[in-house]
Amino acid sequence: MRISMEVNGRGVEVDVEDRTSLADCLRDRLGLTGVHLGCEHGVCGACTVLLDGSSVRSCLLFAVQAAGHRVTTVEGLADGAGQGGLHPVQTAFMACHGLQCGFCTPGLVLTTCELLAEDPAPTAEEVRARLSGNLCRCTGYVKIFEAVDRAAELMRARSGTAAAPAGAAEDTR
């Protein structure tokens, strides 16, 4: 079946089987291997992508369900506007050692983008609750919390200035 959708700001058309998951479609058909598969049963969050700005588990969606929608993967975040061309959440994860093996990172970065788009200054409790759907086995989450705080600061500083919002902010505004 042929579907069309917008992926990272570009319109794409792709042939998929009915049973192809959105994750497999993004990874295998579109080469977006930043979408990671940690469980394929909806628990780990490694496969998180934004669908029209909201986080979804791409392992639990069929590709056909994304037809006509806007999909953002971690590859679509870096917009060239931030430091080194990165999205502030990416910058913050790097600055705070918010990743070790990096396997969970795309999902956590996207979940953080969604959170900060909704609430530019979340409380510690909100952050803990919001990230609890993304498992990380390496970091013990402590430095991820620091990264989220740092990202919030960076994004507030950015929206305080005249700089244009970044890709994710666009997706999630």
Partner 1 sequence: MTATDRGHRDEWVGRSVPRKEDLPLVTGHGRYVADIQLPGTAEVAFLRSPMAHARITGIDVSAALAGEGVVTVVTGADIRATVLPFTRFVDQEFTPPGLERAAHPVILPCPMPVLASERVRYVGEPVVAVVAADRALAEDAVALVDVTYEALPVVVDPVLAVQSGSPLVHDDITDNVQATFEVRAGDVDAAFAAAPHVERFNYETQRQAASPMETRGVLAVHTDVTDETTVWTSSQTPYMVRTRISEQLGIAEESIRVVVPDMGGGFGPKVQVYPEEVLLAHLARTLGRPVRWIEDRSEHMIATAHSRDQRHTVEVAFDDSGLITAIRDDFLMDAGAYNPFSITCAYNSAVHFRSVYQVPHFQVRGRCVLTNKTPNGPYRGCGRPEATFAMDRAVYQIARLLGLDPVEVMARNLIPADAMPYPRGMPYRDGQEVVYDCGDFPAALAQLRALSGYDEHARARQAQPTSTAVTRRGIGFASYIEGTGIGPYEGAVVMLDSLGRVVVRSGSAPHGQSHDTTMSQVAADVFGLNPDQIIFSAGDTSLVPNGIGTFASRSAVVAGSAVLLAGRRLEQRVRAIASELLEISAEDLVVDAGYVHVRGDATSRVSLADVYRAALPGPQARIPGGTEPGTRELQYFVPPTVTFGAGFLAATVSVDLETGGVVVERIDIIHDCGRMINPVVVEGQLQGGILQGIGGALYESVVYDENGQPLTTTFMDYLLPTSAEVPEIRQIHLATTSDRNPLGVKGVGEAGAIAPPAAIANAVADALRPLEVELNRLPLSPPTVIEAITRAQR
Under the binding rule (CB under 8 A), the answer on residue 164 touching partner 1 is: no
From the list 11-19, 39-47, 84-92, 156-164, the region that binds ligand FES by CB under 6 A is: 39-47
Q: Give the one residue of 16, 104, 152, 155 binding ligand FES; rule: CB under 6 A.
A: 104
Under the binding rule (CB under 8 A), the answer on residue 104 touching partner 1 is: yes
Question: Burial code of 63-94, b = ≥16 C-beta within 10 A, e = fewer?
Answer: bbbbeebbbbbbbbbbbebbeeebbbbbbbbb
Give backbone dihedrals phi and psi of 49, rounded to 5 degrees, phi first. Answer: -135, 170
Q: Rounded to the nearest whole angstrom, what is the least distance from the CB of residue 39 to partner 1 in the complex?
A: 4
The pairing of strands 54-57 and 70-72 is: unpaired
Across the chain, the runs of DSSP E, i.e. the strands, are 2-7, 10-15, 48-51, 54-57, 70-72
Compute the half-sphere exposure of residue 137: CA atoms within 13 Å on the CB side of its CA. 6
Under the binding rule (CB under 8 A), the answer on residue 149 touching partner 1 is: no
- Determine the 3-state secondary structure of 14 from DSSP: strand
Under the binding rule (CB under 8 A), the answer on residue 77 touching partner 1 is: yes
Q: Give the one residue of 16, 23, 25, 32 binding partner 1; rule: CB under 8 A.
A: 32
Q: Which residue's CB is nearer to partner 1, number 45 or number 172?
A: 45
Under the binding rule (CB under 6 A), the answer on residue 46 touching ligand FES is: yes
Residue numbers at the binding site for ligand FES (CB under 6 A): 37-40, 42-47, 57, 59, 99-105, 136-139
